Each structure stands twice: as structure tokens, then as C-alpha cells.
């Protein structure tokens, strides 16, 4: 059996759950404290994570939820009572959509302590105040409203949330007024971050600097093709649920084109 989490940069560990290749990021700070980003996904995954942390003398002193989707709002009693943050917009959306988010957990990862689910508070400012490496927040509205990527300038690690995946196509927030424009804006923001040496997607595999740029290019190419109504031959279209989302995104693009032509 391998390590639960891989150290991808000094003091930055990534655990990958089997379900949806979901990542959890652990950033070691001072005096055994750590910043825990998106702990996921099953009850057993969180129990194993808590065991791994305590075996290494690490204790979460702050949590970060990258965006208001159920698989990024989980927590367990064994992870302790640290404050958990998200962008103000993400906190508002999580509160408004709590019932739907809970249905998502119950359907896909039952058994979590719902008293701890989505208990996030708004982070004011653009940096997490915690005793450890600087953690800067880059907020945008691609994929989900109030999406907050974390960039660690000391190590050049970007924790991207559900963006820049190698296993999922760009998944747009079709509930917003301009899903394609919003997604492009989010990509532009992430692409503008200087000094990215390692990329951690919410689902998929860690990439280096070159892979970071390759994924930005691949995601822009995907959006271009969908908006042009072209046939999309993206190697990430591997599963039925992704093909379903892709079809919805194609339909939305076609509808937008039709509307602007009238």
C-alpha cells in the first residue's frame, strides 16, 4: 500500500480519492498546524485522511473550500474544529443551495456528519491569515460562483479547484447568464498568475509548469470548438456523465448563437 498523500512540493501534500479522482491538499505550517483544502470525498476517505494527519503530527488550523459544490464542502469531527473559509460569494451560494448540496452528499457519499457540512465562513481579503506559507486567493466565477483558487507563492503551487483538469472537460456554470464568458474570464485569471510551478486540479492529476499551460490551451480550444458548434474530439470525453454535460454545453452555445443572430 502506498502513501495516502504525495508530497508534490516541500510541505505540500496531495491525497487522491478514488471517486472522481478527487484531490485533497494539505499544506504544512508552523508548529504542526496545516491548511486543509477540499477534504474529500467518502466517509472512509476522510477517516483515512485524519489518521494520516495525526500520524504525522499535523492538525488542521484552517480549512479552505474552493467552491460551493458538495464534494468540496466536506469535513469530519476527526479533522477538528478549525475555521473553514471560502469566498464570500461561495459562502452565500452554499447557504442558499444547502438543501440541494445535502442531496448531493446523501446520493453520492452518504454517511457524512451533516452538522459539519458546508460550515464555511467568508474570507475577507485575498489571503488566508494562518501560521504557514502565504496562501493567496484568486476568485472568479468559472464552473461555480465564488470559485477561489489558492496560490502558494513560496512554492509556486496552484490549487485550482475544479479547473484545469486532465480528466474532465471544462464544466460550465450553466445557471449563470454568460457561462462561456465567465469561464474564459476564470481561465484568464488563472493564466495570469506568475510563477506557477505545480498545478493541483480538484479532480485529476498534478501537473508541472508546462502542463499548466498545456491545460489552459486545451480548455480554451474546447471552449472555442463548442462555441463554434464544431465536433469536439477531446480525450477527456471518456465517461457518460461527461458526454451528457458536453451535450448540454453544446446546446447552450447553439442557443446563444441563435439568440444573438436574431
Q: Interacting stretch for Zn ion, rule CB under 5 A, among 9-17, 26-34, 69-77, 253-261? A: 69-77
Q: Which is nearer to Zn ion, 130 or 138 (CB)?
A: 138
| Alpha-carbon gap, residue 181 to 122, rounded angstroms | 25
Nearest approach, Cβ of residue 173 and Zn ion (Å):
9
Task: State yes or no: residue 203 binds Zn ion (CB under 5 A).
Answer: no
Q: Which is nearer to Zn ion, 130 or 236 (CB)?
A: 236
- DSSP H stretches of helix in the chain: 43-55, 88-96, 98-108, 179-191, 209-228, 240-261
Which residue in the set 46, 50, 53, 69 belongs to the binding site for Zn ion (CB under 5 A)? 69
Q: Are 135 and 28 in contact (CB under 8 A)?
A: no
Task: State yes or no: residue 245 binds Zn ion (CB under 5 A).
Answer: no
Size of the site for Zn ion (CB under 5 A): 2
Q: Interacting stretch for Zn ion, rule CB under 5 A, among 28-36, 67-75, 114-122, 186-194? A: 67-75
Nearest approach, Cβ of residue 172 and Zn ion (Å):
11
Site for Zn ion in 122-181 (CB under 5 A): 162
Task: State yes or no: residue 97 binds Zn ion (CB under 5 A).
Answer: no
Nearest approach, Cβ of residue 212 and Zn ion (Å):
19
Q: Please report, for residues 38, 40, 63, 64, 150, the alpha-carbon distance to residue 60 in angstroms, rounded to integers and kept in the order given.
A: 12, 14, 7, 10, 16
| Alpha-carbon gap, residue 195 to 134, rounded angstroms | 14
Task: State yes or no: residue 211 binds Zn ion (CB under 5 A).
Answer: no
Nearest approach, Cβ of residue 2 and Zn ion (Å):
26
Q: Which is nearer to Zn ion, 98 or 208 (CB)?
A: 98
Nearest approach, Cβ of residue 13 and Zn ion (Å):
21
Nearest approach, Cβ of residue 230 and Zn ion (Å):
25
Output Rg (C-alpha) for the chain, integer angstroms: 18
Q: Which is nearer to Zn ion, 162 or 219 (CB)?
A: 162
List the beta strands (DSSP E) in the chain. 5-9, 12-16, 23-28, 33-37, 59-64, 84-86, 121-122, 136-140, 147-152, 157-161, 198-201, 207-208
Q: Which is nearer to Zn ion, 15 or 171 (CB)?
A: 171
Nearest approach, Cβ of residue 200 and Zn ion (Å):
14
The dihedrals phi and psi of 203, each to the nearest 5 degrees, come to -135, 125
Strand-strand pairing, 147-152 and 136-140? antiparallel
| Owner of C-alpha cell 513560496 | 154
Q: Collapsing DSSP states into helix, strand and coil, what is residue 137?
A: strand
Q: Which is nearer to Zn ion, 69 or 236 (CB)?
A: 69
| Cβ neighbour number for residue 152 with a 10 Å cutoff | 24
For Zn ion, the binding residues (CB under 5 A) are 69, 162
Amino acid at each position: 500500500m502506498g502513501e495516502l498523500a504525495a508530497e508534490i512540493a516541500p510541505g505540500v501534500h496531495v491525497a487522491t480519492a478514488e471517486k472522481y479522482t478527487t484531490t485533497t491538499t494539505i499544506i504544512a505550517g508552523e508548529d504542526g498546524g496545516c491548511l486543509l483544502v477540499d477534504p474529500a470525498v467518502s466517509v472512509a476517505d476522510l477517516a483515512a485522511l485524519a489518521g494520516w494527519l495525526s500520524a504525522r503530527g499535523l492538525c488542521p488550523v484552517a480549512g479552505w473550500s474552493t467552491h460551493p459544490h458538495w464534494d468540496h464542502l466536506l469535513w469530519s469531527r476527526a479533522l477538528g474544529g478549525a475555521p473553514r473559509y471560502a469566498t464570500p460569494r461561495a459562502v452565500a451560494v452554499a447557504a442558499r443551495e444547502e438543501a440541494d448540496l445535502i442531496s448531493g452528499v446523501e446520493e453520492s457519499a452518504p454517511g457524512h456528519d451533516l452538522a459539519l457540512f458546508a460550515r464555511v465562513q467568508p474570507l475577507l481579503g485575498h489571503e488566508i491569515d494562518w501560521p504557514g506559507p502565504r496562501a493567496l486567493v484568486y476568485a472568479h466565477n468559472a464552473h461555480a460562483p465564488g470559485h477561489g483558487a489558492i496560490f502558494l507563492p513560496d512554492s509556486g503551487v496552484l490549487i485550482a479547484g475544479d479547473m484545469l483538469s486532465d480528466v474532465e472537460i471544462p464544466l460550465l456554470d450553466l445557471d449563470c447568464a454568460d457561462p462561456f464568458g465567465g469561464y474564459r474570464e476564470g481561465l484568464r485569471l488563472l493564466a495570469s498568475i506568475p510563477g506557477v510551478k505545480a498545478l493541483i486540479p480538484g479532480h485529476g492529476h498534478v501537473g508541472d509548469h508546462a502542463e499548466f499551460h498545456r491545460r489552459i490551451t486545451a480548455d480554451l480550444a474546447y471552449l472555442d470548438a463548442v462555441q463554434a458548434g464544431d465536433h469536439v474530439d477531446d480525450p477527456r470525453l471518456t465517461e457518460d456523465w461527461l458526454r451528457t454535460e458536453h451535450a448540454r454545453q453544446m446546446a447552450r452555445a447553439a442557443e446563444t448563437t441563435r439568440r444573438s443572430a436574431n
